[in-house]
Structure 1
Amino acid sequence: MSDSIKSNPTRKTHSLTPENKETPISFVQTDVTSAKFFYLRNHFSYPSFTYQNHWLSISGLVDIPMLFSMQDIRKLPSKKIKVVLECAGNKRSLFQPKVFGEQWEKGGMSHGYWKGVSLLTLLQMTGIKKEVKEVIFESHDMGTQPSTDQPLPYSRSLPLNKAIHPDTILAYEYNNEPIPYKHGFPLRLIVPNWYGMASIKWLKHIKLADKEFGGHFQTKDYVFYPHVNNDNDSFPVTVQNVNSSIQQPTDLQILSTGKIQITGIAWTGKGYISKVEISTDGGITWSNALLKKKESYGWVSWSFEWVVWQTGEYTLLSKATDSHGRVQPESPFWNRKGYGYNATDRVSVKIE
């Protein structure tokens, strides 16, 4: 399935070294994002290795430490799941006051089919000792600590209950093709419902441990810091917030009177999207949008027909609710690193 793109836009570049680019989300017309437009989020330069020499090791608190080749992994029972991956910093540019970091707009996210092996399948082969609390994942992605110049691998962990969920998979295909190199070839961890930092690319090693992992990207980065000058009340970034985005019309677009289709997407890290409401008067009144279908791990497309005959300037808002009763707030939860923005989405249009 390919994207139908208006005006043939490209991904917006935030940086080239490392490479960070966002999906032209307002112009993606299909439900699945092609690899060509999938967002790129990197902390370091791309790693270098070959498929033939790629092995995945599993060690730590297991009964039998094992080493798996890609051929071994591909022989195991597979599953395909539709997942939206969202950078934790998606929409960071919308925070007020402004925060440091890549100024993502609405395109730090993409959506498609991932095929691979349940991590649980491999862990059942190695065995899981009863004292295990966390599963640690290490990537080939490597840089240096800014303050010490010491090697810094991209490593994170999952609590055991999330790691052994049947839909936490080690993926080797995206949209029925091998995962592109820039998106984690040949093996990527996919963690549905969590922000994208958990879905580690270029997976190299898995270790089972009996205590919490203290790596940089676990305890320093990808943490909510609610205060400007101290780390009090901080807590880790994990499950995606309920969220929505208006795709069309775009902000500051000039439109004609008559029937106007307002379209967009909504997603959540808990349950599924149960309702999307649209306001065409800046939040005074709300009406329900039409949802396409329920998605547990993906985004749901929605639409609303707006009939407007009076010229002027209008503020359009979208507000999603999920099956757990979580509702997009009017204002975001401000935090120092700019994670998890999910305030009601808004665009301004002019009717002539």
Structure 2
Amino acid sequence: MNRRTFVRGAVGGALALGSGGVIEALRRESTFGYDGIEVLGPGVERITPNERFYVVTKNLIDPRVVRERWRLELSGLVTAPRTLDFAALERMGGVDQETTLECISNAVGHGLISNAVWTGIPLGELIESARPESGAQRVFFHAADGYTHSTTLEKALEPTTLLATRMNGEPLPDRHGFPARLIVPGTYGEVSVKWIDRIELVDDDRQGYYEKQGWKAQRVHTMSRIDAPGKKSRLRGTTRIRGVAFAGDRGISKVEVSTDGGRSWREADLDYMPSKLTWAHWSLGWSPSRGEHELVVRATDGNGEPQETKKDDSVPDGATGLHRVGVRAEA
């Protein structure tokens, strides 16, 4: 059972019981809330509009942070701890970085994945300004909703790891972490903490919210998906098979499509992949013969490593397997 399935059932049960105690227990124990948006199908944009970007939360009610009251604390194993308000953060300027995020619970063929242009400052600049002590090994992040997560200090200092304040040219929407959130390429979305308010350098391997529940992804698995034609489509004449592929911060070097259930493969065109940090949009022209066909897609990451073909659930480190779509050609 994945996180989305669990919470749909649990929330319904808790609300039916109407017990404050039960709801509080659910708040403590449930792992995942999902607003119903999946970014998939023939209309997937290269840059996902803010209102269409997938949303995942552990909260029954998300926090509403007041910008003027927000503070970001840098603490722990540092020799110059500091606290910044939003005005100070804005004065530091920012860079634009297009980055794709994917939820660790995204199943094969599903749409808990989106792409945006984020504006923020490299997290490493903030951390270095607090002067980390030599014993610091990891960074533990705290958020306004009580959420926590950690990553290595090395990952936090990578120049592509951002503290973002804008999304597609606009201030972060509340549901996406206003006033500031992390963007951590090469990791699943759970590491890109929303509503962040404290950054703590530590020398131990303490676990965050999802880590305590057993989720332990080390890197994003290579994924690929067919967006068009859809399942059970009836086709006439030449068509163009389209979809997306993603491999964290490794990029995509190749996408291949089979129209006969995996017996033979053709290389697709990579129509869009501005950097290794984003998904690739791919397409392939096809003139099918009359009858039933099974479409399959597979991708190879920028390091030359092929996508895992064995189908596995997302628990505990992300889903693997190939996406398959059955269609019928009528002429």
TM-score (norm 2): 0.86
SS in 2 for 1:201: coil
Aligned equivalent of 1:129: 133
* Higher helix fraction (1 or 2): 2
Distance 2:175 2:118 in 1: 15
Q: Is the 8 A contact 2:261 2:296 kept in 1?
A: yes
The answer to which of 324-333 and 280-289 deviates more is 324-333
State yes or no: 1:41 paired with 2:45: no
Q: Is the 8 A contact 2:150 2:207 kept in 1?
A: no
Matched to 2:299, the amino acid is A
State yes or no: 1:340 paired with 2:318: yes
Aligned equivalent of 1:169: 162
Q: CA shift at 1:332, angstroms?
A: 2.3
Deviation string 1:182-223 (CA, Å, 9 cap, x unpaired) is 01111011101110000000001110001111334223242x
User: Alpha carbon RMSD of aligned pairs, Å?
Assistant: 1.8
Distance 1:32 1:334 in 2: 27
Matched to 2:129, the amino acid is M
Aligned equivalent of 1:297: 277
Deviation string 1:67-94 (CA, Å, 9 cap, x unpaired) is 1011111111411111111000101xx5
Aligned equivalent of 1:8: none
SS in 2 for 1:197: helix
Q: CA shift at 1:344, angstroms?
A: 1.5
Deviation string 1:275-327 (CA, Å, 9 cap, x unpaired) is 0000000000000000124421100111100012x221110011000122221
Aligned equivalent of 2:88: 72
SS in 1 for 2:72: strand
State yes or no: 1:23 paired with 2:16: no
Give the counterpart of 1:188 among 169, 181, 196.
181
Q: Is the 8 A contact 2:163 2:180 kept in 1?
A: yes
Matched to 1:165, the amino acid is E
Q: CA shift at 1:238, angstroms?
A: 3.0
Aligned equivalent of 2:28: none
SS in 2 for 1:22: coil
Distance 1:118 1:270 in 2: 16
Matched to 1:75, the amino acid is R
Summarize the Cα distance change of 1:192–1:291 in structure 2 as closer, same or farther, 3 Å threshold.
Answer: same
Aligned equivalent of 1:110: 114
Distance 1:260 1:304 in 2: 8
TM-score (norm 1): 0.81
Q: Is the 8 A contact 1:22 1:109 kept in 2?
A: no
Runs of 5+ consecutive residues of structure 2 not aligned to the other structure: 1-6, 12-32
Distance 2:155 2:249 in 1: 13
- How many residues align? The count is 300
Summarize the Cα distance change of 1:325–1:40 in structure 2 as closer, same or farther, 3 Å threshold.
Answer: same
Aligned equivalent of 2:299: 320
Q: CA shift at 1:351, angstroms?
A: 1.2
Aligned equivalent of 1:225: none
The answer to which of 323-332 and 264-273 deviates more is 323-332
Q: Is the 8 A contact 2:139 2:156 kept in 1?
A: yes
State yes or no: 1:244 paired with 2:220: no
Distance 1:26 1:164 in 2: 36
Q: CA shift at 1:15, angstroms?
A: 4.9
Distance 2:317 2:231 in 1: 22
SS in 1 for 2:97: strand
* Mapping of residues 133-148 of structure 1, within 5 Å: 133-141=137-145
Q: Is the 8 A contact 1:270 1:324 kept in 2?
A: no
Distance 2:294 2:71 in 1: 53
Distance 1:328 1:262 in 2: 19
Q: Is the 8 A contact 2:102 2:114 kept in 1?
A: yes
Summarize the Cα distance change of 1:341–1:214 in structure 2 as closer, same or farther, 3 Å threshold.
Answer: closer
SS in 1 for 2:298: strand
